[in-house]
Structure 1
Amino acid sequence: MKFFNVKTVEETFSLIDEKISKINGTETCPLKEALHRVLAEDITAKENVPAFDRSTVDGYAVFARDTYGSSESMPGFLTAAGEVEMGEEAVFPLSRGNAIYVPTGGMLPPNSDSVLMIEHCEDIGGLLNTYRQVAPGENVIRAGEDIKAGETILKAGTKLRPQEIGALASLGVREVPVYRKITAAYLSTGDEIVPYETESLETGQVRDINFLTVAGLADEWGIDVIYGGITADEYGEFSERARELYERADCLILSGGSSVGAKDYTTEVIQSLGEPGVFVHGISIKPGKPTILAVADGKPVIGLPGHPASAMIIFRLFGERILKRLKGEDTGSRPERIYARITKNIASSPGRSDYIRVRLTETEGEWWAEPIIGKSGLITTLVKSDGIVEINSAKEGISQGDYVPVILST
């Protein structure tokens, strides 16, 4: 077996898309509990939204052509012929030369084609003075303009955000088919690692903070995480603990032991879990080169670097995509980015993608990204940052004032 044959960032994303498949298993979930779940089937609208023509403003339903030529200096005149109350069906059609008051969201009278805002007219004893002309369709939403009956409103693989929940509620949907929730298991490795609750450290010891940062990100993505504790750099114990956690979860995350040191058993342990095994060992990236990605009998295994900033950046870039694909979520493009201007020159090595932590500031309406320079073991560089700038492998660096893509911290 040949390991530590580094892949580019693009190759790594392609391999993730090729190797990671969605989980088996779906369930029906009440809509009120479906936030952040992933749809397992397309949802087709069974009715129009809105169900009737309605006004978007408080005003008078009119024929648009009856208002043509109206202005402040030369108003037009219509007959105020009644009103439609909120929640009331508009039964009587509108006649030419008349206007009927309709509240925001109210049903339009048949035949009317627009609504004149109340601010632009005045009812004087039943005579409506119109101070502005309107166009056909102005201030009106037609039946089915938002959602049409028979339309596929949401596709399988859609993560349900509050706006999707609202759209489904507007259709009277009470429950939805979703992929089952997935669980990841986490195990830290290293003779020097001790629980984060350890009050007093002995010489050479390091608190296990990676679990909390990694599990925190996973929680934001809707993943439950089992904490497997800490294992020493000893193959037998490491292998046994990893196997136990692997059996309990849909994805196994290992932190530390991903490089090529004499006591780094992560690759061997992962290979022992199942076929086909490791498909990435080493990514041409800084920080986070010694990253391991694998599939063992259908389950993803992620080997993160031990350094906190490296682990968090790698998990944000690649762990999120792996877990989203596993959940059945449509991964679409790479992590969302905004563009900002860099405040200083940053050198980079061609052939390697660099990810620089930055603080964002707004100056004269533009976003600027200020690099926070620090080694991969410094967690405070992430605390101080608002995101990370990507310098792709084709570049030899970026110059002050260049627009750069920034992946925002979640």
Structure 2
Amino acid sequence: MKFFNVKTVAETLEVIARQFAPVRQPVTLPLGEALGLVLAEDVISAEQVPHFSRSTVDGYAVRAKDTYGASDSLPAFLDIQGKIEMGKIAGLLLREGQAQAIPTGGMIPDGADSVVMIEHVEEVGDLLNVFRQVSPGENMIRAGDDVQTGELVMAAGQRLRPQDLGVLAAIGKTSVSVYPRPIVAILSTGDEIVPSDKQELAPGEIRDINSMTIGAAARACGAEVIEGGIVQDDFDAFFSRAQELFQQADLLLLSGGSSVGTRDYTERVMQSLGDPGVLVHGVSIKPGKPTILAKAGEKPIMGLPGHPASALIIFHLFTAPLIAQLEGVLPSHLDKRIMARISRNIPSAVGRSDYVRVKLEKRGEEWWAQPVFGKSGLISTLVKSDGMVEIAANKEGIMEGEFVRVHLFH
């Protein structure tokens, strides 16, 4: 088997963005069950939030101009006209020279345009001494300050966070249309691969690390995972199990069997699952060149490198965005990078993208990225890393102190 149709990192990401979309229809769920899912439709508010102007402090509702010039030595004097109750309408019109006691969250009465804090006043019978002037709008939230009627509150493609559920509840939404969690099936291949729970290893046997790490990474992306087990290097057995899993999943991940070798059947299996077949066969990247991406019908299939560290790096670069595509996440929400300075010179060969694992450390007000070196097959290097830095294919390396974008691991 030889590599054909080798693409750059950018070209591979473009293939993913162009070729794949959610394969399952949106579902409507109660708001409390939608955390972490992705909106399938725009949410337009049918009402304003808050729907009445309210105080943000305990104090007195006033007309701001009645307090102008007030100070400790020369307070403003206002007539106290009753008290506004929590959860009740403010029925009295506030007139010139008047004030009304108001609790935090109380409705601002008509005629008032600000609130003076209780710490800055003194009651003397029905007279209020005000020792600090306030500006219009001070210590209050006006009706509609948070959300306006007809406003786009959230666009389709946004993953719902706790604060998002809060604003949806505030506008009266009790259910929401979301994309179901994509189902990812993982199948490991290789005569040397044995289940990870096997305690005594025979010579040449390797525990299946990838099913554990890739499965966990997929769950961290919001997917449901089917662990498909292990198949040996036999085409018929491999194809049969892959086809079975493919029918159950939205995305099939094949771990191992994607490098050059006479017994590697991954590309043949992927091609046999349906048209249009293989889209990317090899990526000009280190580590992770033997990466394969295919499409059967509308579903994606991806062949990951067998080395655990390489497989996880490829997952973060390509599989995570692919899962996001299946969830309906907008591309603008996918960037997980921060800026940092690289802590040492790192050489690189021109013509391929190198991804260097790094550990972040804070120096003063800046983040610095410390390279974590090790062979691509060493999973321990990822344990010590917070993310990875790309050295672009057209660069011969990066210099100490240079700003880089660190792609954060989940």
Q: Counterpart amino acid of 2:282?
A: G
Aligned to 1:184: 184
Instruction: Output aligned runs, 1:2-401, within 5 Å.
Output: 3-332=3-332, 334-401=334-401
CA distance in 2, matches of 1:282, 1:335: 24
Instruction: Note the C-alpha offset of 1:232.
Output: 1.0
Deviations 1:312-344 (A, max 9, x none): 111112111111111222232553111112211
Q: One-letter code of the match for 2:251? A: C
Alpha-carbon deviation of 1:196? 0.5
Equivalents in 1 of 2:278, 2:10: separation in Å? Answer: 17
How far apart in 2 are the matches of 1:309 and 1:294? 22
Q: Which stretch has the larger CA shift, 306-315 or 362-371?
A: 362-371
Counterpart CA distance in 2 for 1:171 and 1:376 is 50
1:191 and 1:46, CA in 2 relative to 1: closer, same or farther beyond 3 A?
same
TM-score norm. by structure 1 comes to 0.95
Q: Given that residues 2 and 260 in structure 2 are in contact (C-alpha distance below 8 angstroms), is that contact kept between their aligned partners in structure 1?
A: no
Q: Which moved more, 1:349-358 or 1:316-325?
A: 349-358
Q: Provide the rounded CA distance (Å) in 2 between the counterparts of 1:116 and 1:61.
A: 7
For structure 1, the residue ranges without an aligned partner over 5 or more in a row are none
The structural deviation recorded for 1:21 is: 1.9
Residues 237-270 of structure 1 deviation map (CA, whole Å, 9 limit, x = unaligned) = 1111111111111110001111122221111110
Larger mean Cα displacement after TM superposition, 396-405 or 225-234: 396-405
Equivalents in 2 of 1:278, 1:158: separation in Å?
30
Change in Cα spacing, 1:286 to 1:128, as seen in structure 2 (3 Å) is: farther
Q: After superposition, what is the alpha-carbon deviation per residue over 1:56-114, rounded to whole angstroms, capped at 9, x for unaligned?
A: 22222111112222234443332333321221211111111122222222211112111
Measured against aligned partners, the alpha-carbon deviations of 1:361-385 in whole angstroms (never above 9, x if no partner) come to 1122222211111111111111111
* 2-structure distance, mates of 1:93, 1:139: 19
SS of 1:211's equivalent?
Answer: helix
How many residues of Structure 1 are paired with residues of Structure 2 in the alignment? Answer: 410
1:43 partner amino acid: V
**CA RMSD after TM alignment:** 1.8
Structure 1 position 136, deviation (Å) = 1.3
Give 2:286's aligned amino acid.
Answer: K
Could you list the runs of 5+ residues in structure 2 that have no partner in the other structure?
A: none
Q: Shift in Å at residue 2 of structure 1?
A: 7.8
Moved more, 102-111 or 394-403: 394-403
Letter in 1 for 2:90: A
> Which residue type is aligned with residue 64 of structure 1?
A
CA contact (8 A) 2:84 2:101 kept: yes
Cα distance between partner residues in 1 of 2:346 and 2:334: 23
Which amino acid is 1:119 matched to? Answer: E
Instruction: State the match for 1:406 in structure 2.
Output: 406
- Deviating above 6 A after TM superposition, structure 1's stretches of 4 or more consecutive aligned residues are none
**Which stretch has the larger CA shift, 124-133 or 180-189?**
124-133
Displacement after TM superposition at 1:125 (Å): 3.5
The TM-score, its normalising length taken from structure 2, stands at: 0.95
**Which shifted more, 70-79 or 366-375?**
70-79
Q: Deviations over 1:378-409 (max 9, x none)?
A: 11111111121222233322221222111222
Residues of 2 paired with 1:16 and 1:388: CA distance?
21
- Cα distance in structure 2, aligned partners of 1:340 and 1:43: 36
User: What SS does structure 2 have at the residue aligned with 1:15?
Assistant: helix
SS in 2 for 1:324: helix
Partner SS for 2:331 = coil
- Larger mean CA deviation between 120-129 and 290-299 belongs to 120-129
Higher alpha-carbon deviation: 171-180 or 316-325:
171-180
Deviations 1:200-219 (A, max 9, x none): 11111111111111111111
Counterparts in 2 of 1:341 and 1:125: CA distance versus 1, 3 Å: farther
